[in-house]
């Protein structure tokens, strides 16, 4: 085991409890069930981030800041930071930051370097799927695409509603 669920309850969501790393004693964010956070990899919920419902954070993902993951959401190989919200969504291989919102949608990337989405909003079953063939070209960042890594990323504001 890498963490324990403490008796410290979230001030707004009392069904959530703070987690604590066994090895270091470092406190993390809040989860509802042990299922919410994988024990067998480097995944972590930090700061005051919350994960509840049937959501799962796994495959070396980090949820931090004041982010909230709920519903039947799956966060895999990703960073969900700042004030991001994922409800009933699937996030794989990307960085969500700023005030990003993913509702009942999928966002995934199979790129070697994580694609960064800042203030993105996906709603009502929208899907974004990126691969090296689509985005990861020598100068893709020059054309307003999201960028192949943090050094070349351009902040974007995307709203997709169907």
* Res. 147: pLDDT tops 80: no
pLDDT at 14 > cutoff 50 = yes
pLDDT of residue 138: 38
Cβ–Cβ under 8 Å, residues 68 and 50: yes
Is-above-0.85 flag for pTM?
no
- Strand partners of residue 95: 79, 116
Per-residue pLDDT of 99-141, as tens digits, reads 999 999 889 887 766 778 888 888 877 778 776 443 333 333 3
Helix (H, G, I), strand (E, B) or coil at 20: strand
| Mean residue pLDDT across the chain | 83
pLDDT surpasses 50 at 162:
no
């Amino acid at each position: 085991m890498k963490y324990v669920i403490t008796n410290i309850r979230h001030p707004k969501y009392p069904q959530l409890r703070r987690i604590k790393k066994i090895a270091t004693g470092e406190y993390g964010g809040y989860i509802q069930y042990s299922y919410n956070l994988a024990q067998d990899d480097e995944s972590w919920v930090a700061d005051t981030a919350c994960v509840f419902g049937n959501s799962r954070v796994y495959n070396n993902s980090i949820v931090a800041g004041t982010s909230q993951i709920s519903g039947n959401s799956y966060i895999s190989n990703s960073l969900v930071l700042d004030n991001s919200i994922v409800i009933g969504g699937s996030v794989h291989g990307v960085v969500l930051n700023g005030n990003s919102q993913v509702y009942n949608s999928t966002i995934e990337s199979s790129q070697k370097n994580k694609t960064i989405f800042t203030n993105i909003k996906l709603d009502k079953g929208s899907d974004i799927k990126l691969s090296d063939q689509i985005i990861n070209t020598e100068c893709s960042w020059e054309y307003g695409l999201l960028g192949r890594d943090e050094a070349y990323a351009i902040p974007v504001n995307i709203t997709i509603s169907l």
